[in-house]
Amino acid sequence: MSPPGQNDDPEEMEVSGPEPGSEAPAMHSREAIKSVRIKAPTRGNRKLEKFLDAVNRDDEVRTWWYMAQTHAERLGMSDHSWVHMQIVLNIALRLTRLLDKGGVEGAMVTDHGMSERDAEVVVAGGALLHDVGMSIHRADHEEYSLFLAREALPRLLEGIYSEPERSIVMAEILHAIIGHRRRGQPYTVEAGIVRVADALDMAEGRTRVPLEAGQEGIHSISAAAIDQVNILAGQQRPVRLEIELNNSAGIFQVDDLLATKIRDTPLADHIEVVAEVKGESEKRLLTGFRLGG
């Protein structure tokens, strides 16, 4: 499955392994977990390559993704499997590179004197581990993600960083994880990127489970109105997000989910968002409305 938006290496924007709701339920859990492999365009970033290779070899992390999706299905939620992680990773790297091209440096550069390649490792770590806490419970999953990630990061970063750089990278990844929640208050560009990338996994087919299951409400109807998200270099700002809607109800999703995630982050002044309703007529999404009994 390809993430929304555009990328310099579209052939990389795939996930290996069964997608939720397709082959996964028919497969033994061990087979489903072992078949997963995350991909992303690394552009010669050896540190990022080693990190992604470590994640792909880590059975515990992949099992956390499997269990996160299991709980999502139990709750009737949209995808929170490795497919979601893959999409968020690719979107996050796309945002990172557009921002860097636009002169927006991450904390790894400005605060720690490291490089933009280290910023990409932080972004990748936050993107791939931000929801692992859902393997335990949906409520407060961001906090659970913290202590699971703290357990995994030393081995995932082994051979990539030595101290004190390793502890710096770990701390910044953990900050990105806790910062992705609704009131997470991310302090860094990297954490803001993970938060926004998580919200941008909203294109057609990604957030329609509640509506297709008959759970009509403003959230499900608005989510179903989003057809496509394009992530582009902006003219006035480094990043331009163009969101194509099939129904004006999608404006609620854009404002309530995406705009909320962008506000109060270091990215607020660097991203422009444009949402338009496409087509001659709006798709009918609401079968009826009744207030009260």
What was the pLDDT predicted at 193? Answer: 97
Tokens of 210: 């509640």
Model confidence band, residue 140 (pLDDT cutoffs 50, 70, 90): confident
Kindly state whether residue 55 falls inside one of the protein's structural domains: yes
Residue 152 in any domain: the answer is yes
- Write the burial class of residue 159 (CB in 10 Å: 0-12 exposed, 13-18 middle, 19+ buried): exposed
Tell me if 34 is assigned to some domain. Answer: yes
**Lowest mean pLDDT segment, chosen from 56-60, 190-194, 216-220, 228-232:** 216-220
76 domain-assigned: yes
- In the predicted model, is pLDDT for residue 284 greater than 60? no
242 is a domain residue: no
Amino acid at 94: R
Question: Mind giving me the DSSP string for 134-148?
Answer: GGT-STTHHHHHHHH
Residue 2 has pLDDT above 70, yes or no: no
Q: Which whole number is the average pLDDT over 62-82? A: 84
Per-residue DSSP letter, 257: I
- State residue 261 phi and psi, 5-degree precision: -75, -30
Q: How far apart are CA 119 and CA 135, in angstroms?
A: 26
Residue 67, in any domain of the structure = yes
The whole-number pLDDT of residue 58 equals 95
Comparing 194 with 257, the larger pLDDT belongs to 194
**Mean pLDDT along residues 100-121:** 97
- The amino acid at residue 185 is Q
Structure tokens at 101: 């091209």
Instruction: Read off the pTM.
Output: 0.83
| Number of domains making up the chain | 1
Say which range, 73-77, 203-207, 263-267, 270-274, has the weakest mean pLDDT.
Answer: 203-207
93 to 5, 71, 123, 184: CA distances (angstroms): 12, 27, 7, 20
Strands 226-233, 15-16: pairing is unpaired
Please provide residue 271's backbone torsions phi and psi, each rounded to the nearest 5 degrees.
-125, 135
Query: Average pLDDT of the chain?
Result: 82
Question: Is omega for the bond preceding 164 within 30 degrees of 0, making it cis?
Answer: yes
Region 234-250 average pLDDT = 88
| Residue 293 maps to a domain | no
133 or 192: which leads in pLDDT: 192
- Spatial distance between the Cα atoms of 171 and 162, rounded to a whole number of angstroms: 14
Q: For residue 61, is pLDDT > 80? A: yes
Answer for the pair 64, 141: CB distance below 8 angstroms, yes or no: no
- Cβ neighbours of residue 204 under 8 Å, at least 6 residues apart? 226, 227, 228
- What's the N-to-C CA distance of the chain in angstroms? 41
Question: Containing domain of residue 175, as a range?
Answer: 10-198
Q: What is the pLDDT of residue 189?
A: 98
pLDDT of amino acid 82: 83
* Assigned token pair, 20: 């939720």
Rounded to whole angstroms, the Cα distance separating 203 from 223 reads 8
Q: Where are the beta strands (DSSP E) in the chain?
A: 15-16, 37-38, 226-233, 239-245, 271-277
Average pLDDT over residues 30-37: 84
